[in-house]
Amino acid sequence: MMAIKMKPLEIISPLLALAALLGLWALARPVFNVDPILLPSPGEVARAALEHRRELGFAWWRSGLVALSGFGLSLVLGLVLGSLLGLSRWMERIFQPWTVFLQSVPVVAVAPILILWLGPGLPSMIAVSCIVSLFPIVNGTAAGLQRTPKERLDLLRVCGASPLQTWWKLRLPQSAPLIVAGARVSAGLSVVGAIVGEYFTGTGGRGGGLAQAISNCQQSADYPLLYAVTACAALLGFAVYSGTQFCGETLLRRLGF
């Protein structure tokens, strides 16, 4: 397997940007006389994170499980639905307007319906995450399948390949770049969907995820911890996106892109 090498500048540049951001953050309060409630210092946020590291770690893991489950489900459903839309013109004409319509429905309106159908708890949270992250994969798969070179399709048709063999051997591999691009977008959206789903369907107390931790911080007015939880949510999104990007680049290299 080909190793993915990163240049030193690609590693150092984000770290320098982070250091600059933390420096500006630390200077903002004394320079502009910002209320500590509105903007805790980086040190206060770090101390809050260390004091509550076990709770934050559990919440991070629980939200990550929901996000990864929803993202995995959206990959499967997105490939199936996108393939149906990409391989059949009449199905595209029938269902494409409905996919656009469903994509525009706010998730806050869908979540109560999912609670009614699936009940409160993990299934509803995973369903919300899946719905939010589904459509970029559907659109990427459908667009990729429709851009398969006609001469290659004709060649497989002459060789007697079945539609299923053509889809598996030619259309799907040729669609990989657009599918991977859609998956990158869906990776970040799955975390958003997981946290939004937790607000509506999650369990409370120590068993909750990041959304419950944010709600607890608001109720207790623990603003340094609130910033720490927000940072954990951002790190979760970054981790899911980076993992998806790494897997996608590895797949594209194996396919020769």
**Model-level pTM?**
0.87
Q: Is the pLDDT of residue 162 over 60?
A: yes
Total number of domains in the chain: 1
251 part of a folded domain: yes
Q: Give the residue carrying structure tokens 């207790």.
A: 220
Q: Nearest-CA neighbor of 133 among 71, 219, 77, 202?
A: 71
For 256, the enclosing helix (H) or strand (E) is none
Stretch among 28-32, 119-123, 173-177 having the lowest mean pLDDT: 28-32
Stretch among 103-107, 134-138, 191-195 having the lowest mean pLDDT: 103-107
19 part of a folded domain: no
82 part of a folded domain: yes
1 part of a folded domain: no
Burial of residue 185 (CB within 10 Å: 0-12, 13-18, 19+) is middle
34 part of a folded domain: no
Stretch among 56-60, 74-78, 93-97, 133-137 having the lowest mean pLDDT: 93-97
140 part of a folded domain: yes
Please compute the mean of the pLDDT values over residues 12-33 and round it to a whole number. 81
CATH of the domain at 160: 1.10.3720.10
The per-residue pLDDT for range 204-239, each reduced to its tens digit, is 445 578 998 998 888 888 999 999 999 999 999 999
7 part of a folded domain: no
Burial of residue 152 (CB within 10 Å: 0-12, 13-18, 19+) is middle
215 part of a folded domain: no
Q: What residue numbers bound the domain in which 110 lies?
A: 61-203+235-255
Q: Is the pLDDT of residue 188 over 80?
A: yes
